[in-house]
Every structure is written in structure tokens, then in C-alpha cells.
Structure 1
Amino acid sequence: MKIRKWLTVAAVAIAAVVSLSIIYENVSSPPVGVNQGMQAPDFTLERGDVEGEKMSLKDQEGQFVILNLWASWCEPCIEELPLLSDMHTSYKDDGVVVLAVNMTTYERQIDNAFEFLDEHPVEMPILMDYDGEFLATYPLQALPTTYLINEDGVIVDIIVGELTDEMVERRITPFIDQRTA
């Protein structure tokens, strides 16, 4: 009987230690990446569409930012770029900017992104993550990924996957309408 009692006490003690270590790990570890409701971390990247220029998120202060992550080999990225370019053209005078960040470290060859852009020109700024620094701040779950960042620099939505007209209507246009009202 005494052995059974000690085994029970030992099992409870081990369970308590494991539970407490899991709780400690979850509480003490910061969340990975950036999430909805967080302040969007600033970044500065070279422009791929204007040689020698750099652009930062801070440069967009006071504007609604649609931040898109893409690569030239990604079919859904390719499909949505014209839609994003049209949105940039349509809303840039209303304080809405689309920034397309090429995940350059994911390209098979850096020239692939430039060749793609030569064949499929877009109107929005194209930023290049040459050294993966952006990727370290905004970890990639999937391509494409689009962050919606309000005028105060807060991430208000994250869309993983290809944007469609319906998604723009349902998830992006309400923010733009609020901005332009």
C-alpha cells in the first residue's frame, strides 16, 4: 500500500513539473513573427524597380499599407500581382500604398525576379529582400502572404494565400472605404 501511495505522489509530482515547465516556456517565449494586432516592425529594403533607391515602412507613415510577399516561381503570387498593381494605381491618391516584397533569398536565381518584372511590369514599388533580413522579421508561413497595416502602423489583417477579387472586396475594401470616407 505504501509503495502505491509513493508511486501516486511521484506521478503527480512529475506531472506538475512537466505542466509548470510547459506553462513557463509558453509564457516566457515571445510569439514567433508578427501577428494581427501587433505594431508592424519597420524595415528598409532596396527597390528592385528603381535602381539605387531604398524604401522603408516608416516612409509610409499615415498611409494604409498593403504589404505583399512574393516570389517569381510562385504561381499564386504571379496570379495576384496584377490585382495588387491595379489596387495601388486606383488608391494611391487616397493614402493607400501597395508594397510588393520579393523573397529574394527564396528565388532560384536573383535574376529570375527581374526577368519576371520585365515581362510583367507592375505599378507598385517592388522591394528586394537580398539578405533575408526582412524574412527574419516577417517569417514566412506560405507564399504569397499579404499584411494589411493601418495608418497607425498596426497589422489589422494577414492573408495567407492568393488574393482574389472576392477577398479584396471582403477583407481589404472595408479598410480602404473607411480610409477614404
Structure 2
Amino acid sequence: MIKIVLFTIMSLIGLYGYTQDAYLIKGKLSGDHEGYKVFLRYMNPNGLKEFIVDSTYVKNGNFILKGKLASDMVSAKLHMTALGKELDPLDWKNYHKLDQQEFMLQNAEFHVTGPNIKQARITGGPVQTDYLVLLDIIKPLQQKADLISKKMMENAAAGHSEANKELGPKYSSMAKAIEDAELRFLDTHPNSFASLLIVSNQMGVENPKFEERFNKLSTAVRSLSLAKALQAQLDAQKTVDIGKHAIDFVMANDKGVVVSFSSFKGKYVLLDFWASWCGPCRSEMPFINEIYQKYKDKNFEVVAVSIDSKKEHWLKAIKEDKMSWVQLSDLKGYKNDAALKYGVMAIPRNFLINPEGAIIAKDLRGEDIEKELSKIIK
């Protein structure tokens, strides 16, 4: 699941005791990449938007990037392209085409060694060292999941989203295997920063499970500001737990007409949070389209809220995925009003709401949406 991180990771010095005030990334690639361009990008500290912070060229197999982080750490990505063959790294359709790798960037010295960026080993900094232990465990599973995800994204980009109905369960199975491996790591590494990352990636699960996992972290790890932000987010999500009443909001639709969410009271509503750049979200659309066509005349509505910031990308995705249900967005990206009210930190995310306005299910995926609706709508 793609994760929306609405906070910055701070205050790591107390746990790791590292105080270098700048980062230095030294790359040594064995492949023939003379003149290729290497980019460094990471998330805006205030929210979703990734941006490129630096770039350089490969010379004699080597490259260097350097700078200074205002925060103690960010989740960053390196990617490399040949001149004249640049791809937009923020377009979800290019995700599997890019020669890229994610790593944990601190003000420390890093070494990137390998035939290319994707296959390189990135070492350096205490947080990345910690993170590599986890990556070595889940890498074989992640590679299999990526192959399925790549095919699903190709299908969606080609307008063949129906083909993903068979691949969806396979991807879910691999995602479950990765989650199980991560939870085993959490059980045995309660004082690891990587365990905190695991817990942060579990914000999409039901709150009782999240709290159980969060409480497995050591006192030292729970004292970090990321952990404190997770605790605050958990408290906020309790306001939209199953059994709670849906929160009203007002937002413009794709035609520019202002819509009040409360106007759908009296119907079963699937409130779905997504974005044009979110591959897993787009892969869910065939399932949503199927249940919408089946139940739209049975007092059921789908209300999709996009956290896009660019209108043209939002409208293009609606057309590509043939979404004929209600489409809303304020084009504020991660600051989307509805997303903030519903404590959305991860997409895809959805809430099933009954005619009385109560939340009766959350985070339904694929065929699970149909199974749930078949129980309540005859």
C-alpha cells in the first residue's frame, strides 16, 4: 500500500547518537552509465509531494551528491536515467520503468555500489544500516510482489483494468506474506527504527491491531517524534472507527459543482480515497466499477475523494479508468479536507457507511467489497 506520510521523522539523535551535519552520497557503478544523470528526491517535509532536490552526472562510473537535511532523516530515492530518456518519477505509470531505489537518508556518508541504482547496495548512516536488516528479509517477497504490481500497472495504463481482477488476489497474497515477515521482525527487534517504520506502515489496519503492534516498540523508540505522531494519528482515527458516525464535508466535484457529503445520507455509501498517481488505487477500480454497476440502483453510491493536486491528472485518471460515480477533490493534495477529517494516512483507503450515516466497514479490497455489500443489500 502506498503510504501518505503527514509528518517528518525527527529526534533520532537520542536513539542513534549521530550528529553529522551534512550528507555525502558516493556512487560507484560497474555498468556502462557514462553521462547518465542521477537524481535525488524525497518527500516534502510537510506532506505528500515528492520533489527532486539534487542531480549529478555519472563520470567513469562514479557520482557524488551532497547536501544538508533540516530534519534528522527522510525516506529518499535515487534514480538514474540516460540523457534524452528522462521519465517523470512522480507519474505512477513510470514506477517500474525507473532505475531507482529507496533508502533512509541522514546527514551521514553513504556509498552506492552495484551495476545500477536498482540493484545497488546503499550503505551508510545508522538508520539505513538498521533498515537494511529488514530489507534483506523481505526483499525476495518484495521482488515477487513488484512483478505482479508492474503487470497490474501496465494493464491499468493500457486500459485493460479488467485483467487485474485475477492479479489482485495474487498481489494481496504477496502483500500479506510481506506483512507477516515484517511482524516477525517487529517481535524480535522492538528497539529497531525499522520496527517503527513497520508500525507506521500498519496505519491502514484496524486500530486494535495497530495499538498492539505499536505497544511492542521499546520505550526509547516510542519516545521518537514519529512514534508520537503515530499515537496522535491513532487517536484521531478513533473518531472514524466502525460504529462511529461519518463526518460531513463539502467539496467540489469534477464538474465544479459543490457537493455536501451529508447529502448522501439515506444510502449505503462507499467513501473511497485515492489519487491518480497511486498504482494500487487504480488497480482497485475494476472491482469498484463492478460493484457500482451492480448496486447503483439499489440505494448505493460510491463517493471518490482524490488527493490529487493537479486537476488535469485527476480528470485524466477518471476518464482512463471509466469512473462513472461521484468524484470529489479540493486539489489540495495531502491537505485534502476530507482526508484530514478521516485521518487518512494511507491510500487506497475506504469507508462503508450505512443509510443512517454510521461507518460499518473500512479498508475493503477487491472482491471483499462485493462480499460485504451482498450481506446488506439484497
User: Normalised by the size of structure 1, how large is the TM-score?
Assistant: 0.70
Q: Give the CA RMSD over aligned residues.
A: 1.9
Q: Secondary structure at the match of 2:375?
A: helix
Asked if 1 retains the 8 angstrom alpha-carbon contact of 2:273 and 2:339, the reply is no
Asked if 1 retains the 8 angstrom alpha-carbon contact of 2:269 and 2:352, the reply is yes
Q: Secondary structure at the match of 1:121?
A: coil
Aligned equivalents of 1:172 and 1:31: distance in 2? 28
Q: 1:44 aligns with which of 250, 255, 280?
A: 250
The equivalent of 1:148 in structure 2 is: 352
Q: Secondary structure at the match of 1:86?
A: helix
Asked if 2 retains the 8 angstrom alpha-carbon contact of 1:82 and 1:122, the reply is no
Aligned equivalents of 2:327 and 2:246: distance in 1? 19
Aligned equivalents of 2:330 and 2:256: distance in 1? 14
Asked if 2 retains the 8 angstrom alpha-carbon contact of 1:69 and 1:145, the reply is yes
The equivalent of 1:26 in structure 2 is: none
What are the Cα deviations for residues 82-117 of structure 1, in whole angstroms up to 9, with x where unaligned?
221222222121101111111125xxx342212222
Asked if 1 retains the 8 angstrom alpha-carbon contact of 2:289 and 2:323, the reply is yes
The equivalent of 1:104 in structure 2 is: 308
Deviates more, 1:139-148 or 1:123-132: 123-132
Aligned equivalents of 1:122 and 1:149: distance in 2? 20
Indicate the structure with greater strand content.
2
Please show how residues 125-144 of structure 1 align to structure 2 within 5 Å: 125-131=326-332, 132-144=336-348
Return 5+ residue gaps in structure 2 as ranges: 1-233
1:158 aligns with 2:362: yes
1:54 aligns with 2:258: yes
**Would you say how many aligned residue pairs link Structure 1 and Structure 2?**
140
What is the identity, as a one-letter code, of the residue corresponding to 2:249? F
Aligned equivalents of 1:93 and 1:54: distance in 2? 23
Asked if 2 retains the 8 angstrom alpha-carbon contact of 1:47 and 1:55, the reply is yes
Query: Which 4+ residue blocks in structure 1 deviate beyond 4 angstroms?
Result: none
What is the identity, as a one-letter code, of the residue corresponding to 2:303? L
Aligned equivalents of 2:353 and 2:245: distance in 1? 9
Instruction: Note the C-alpha offset of 1:154.
Output: 0.4
The equivalent of 1:175 in structure 2 is: 376
Q: 1:113 aligns with which of 286, 293, 314?
A: 314
What is the identity, as a one-letter code, of the residue corresponding to 2:376? F
What is the identity, as a one-letter code, of the residue corresponding to 2:271? L
Instruction: Note the C-alpha offset of 1:141.
Output: 2.9
Deviates more, 1:114-123 or 1:140-149: 114-123
The equivalent of 2:267 in structure 1 is: 63
Q: Alignment identity in percent? A: 27
1:82 aligns with 2:286: yes
Instruction: Note the C-alpha offset of 1:135.
Output: 1.8
What is the identity, as a one-letter code, of the residue corresponding to 1:153? G
Asked if 2 retains the 8 angstrom alpha-carbon contact of 1:89 and 1:123, the reply is no
User: Normalised by the size of structure 2, how large is the TM-score?
Assistant: 0.35
Instruction: Note the C-alpha offset of 1:173.
Output: 2.4
What are the Cα deviations for residues 119-168 of structure 1, in whole angstroms up to 9, with x where unaligned?
222111111132421122112131101100011100011116xx212x12
Instruction: Note the C-alpha offset of 1:38.
Output: 0.5
